[in-house]
Amino acid sequence: QINGTTGYEEAGAQGLVAGANAALAIAGREPLVLSRDQAYIGVLIDDLVTAGVDEPYRMFTSRAEYRLLLRHDNADRRLTPLAAAAGLVGAERVQRLGRKVEQIDQLAGLLQTTRREGVSLDKLLRRPEMTWADVAPHVPAAEQYDAEAVEQVVWDVKYAGYVARQQVDVDRQRRLSSKRIPASFDYSRLTQLRTEAREKFERVRPGDLAQASRISGVTPADIALLMVHLGG
């Protein structure tokens, strides 16, 4: 394939984003851009644009640094709002997600406020040996919650500590993402920049410091120097 990928799923992912952005461009709207912490499609596109390919590219979960955020169980919560904003899903699906999220929030709140032997149910559920079946008898009206909402809450609770640590890295990358690099930025003015880094910046033309930091061969010192020249 012309972009360097191999596989039907990779082609389908690029076609989906290309089609959505073609329609958005015709409508004069902002493009759909998926970040690495939002979707595996975001990881794929960022890898192709930022790192390039020297062999056929396949999308593996190991390529994503934020795998705990990109779980299959939370895909609808991550992507439906973005898809709705881009006109890719209808109102019924958005409403269905809204009902699910409402149940998730209610149940999560109950687990935090309901205590068993002096310990909140969410803390009990975090223990590796504990399952939903162990805490459900102590949850008020537990039977009213859909299985999908229950499953989501269980995984949210189980992964909470790990996700919080991963979120620190995400927030750091987002701060770098807020440092935009003008499309016309002249890297030749950075005389202290290593030749390799300058050439790669010129080739990739990163849109922000986060993307620049992910370019293969670019060092933290290169990013620090670039940040100084950008006034950050």
The pLDDT, as a whole number, for residue 174 is 87
- With CA atoms as reference, report the closest residue to 86 among 44, 34, 47: 34
Q: What is the chain's mean pLDDT, rounded?
A: 92
pLDDT digits over 12-44, tens only?
999 999 999 999 999 999 999 999 999 999 999
pLDDT digits over 64-105, tens only?
989 999 999 999 999 999 999 999 999 999 999 999 999 999
Q: How many CB atoms lie within 10 A of CB 109?
A: 12
Instruction: Answer whether 0.85 is exceeded by the pTM.
Output: no
CA angle 230, 195, 219 (to 5 degrees): 60
The whole-number average pLDDT for the span 136-161 is: 94
The pLDDT, as a whole number, for residue 120 is 96
pLDDT digits over 116-133, tens only?
989 999 999 999 999 999
Q: For residue 53, what are its two tokens?
A: 């390919």
The conformation of residue 57, written as its DSSP 8-state character, comes to: B
The conformation of residue 206, written as its DSSP 8-state character, comes to: -
- With CA atoms as reference, report the closest residue to 14 among 35, 45, 39: 45
Give the Cα separation of 112 and 66 in Å (integer). Answer: 26
Cα 107 to its chain centre, rounded Å, is: 24
The pLDDT, as a whole number, for residue 228 is 87
Q: Helix, strand, or coil here: 5?
A: strand
pLDDT digits over 193-211, tens only?
899 999 999 999 999 999 9
Give the Cα separation of 73 and 23 in Å (integer). Answer: 29
Instruction: Indicate if the pLDDT at residue 52 is higher than 80.
Output: no
Q: What is the CATH number of domain 97-177?
A: 1.10.10.1800
Spell out a b/e string for 136-154, using b for 16 or more CB atoms within 10 Å of the CB, else e.
Answer: eeebeeeeebeeebbebbb
The pLDDT, as a whole number, for residue 1 is 66
The pLDDT, as a whole number, for residue 232 is 53
At the second CATH level, the architecture of 187-229 is Orthogonal Bundle (1.10)
Give the Cα separation of 66 and 155 in Å (integer). Answer: 16
Give the Cα separation of 143 and 177 in Å (integer). Answer: 44
Give the Cα separation of 11 and 217 in Å (integer). Answer: 27
What are the boundaries of each domain within the chain?
Answer: 8-64, 97-177, 187-229
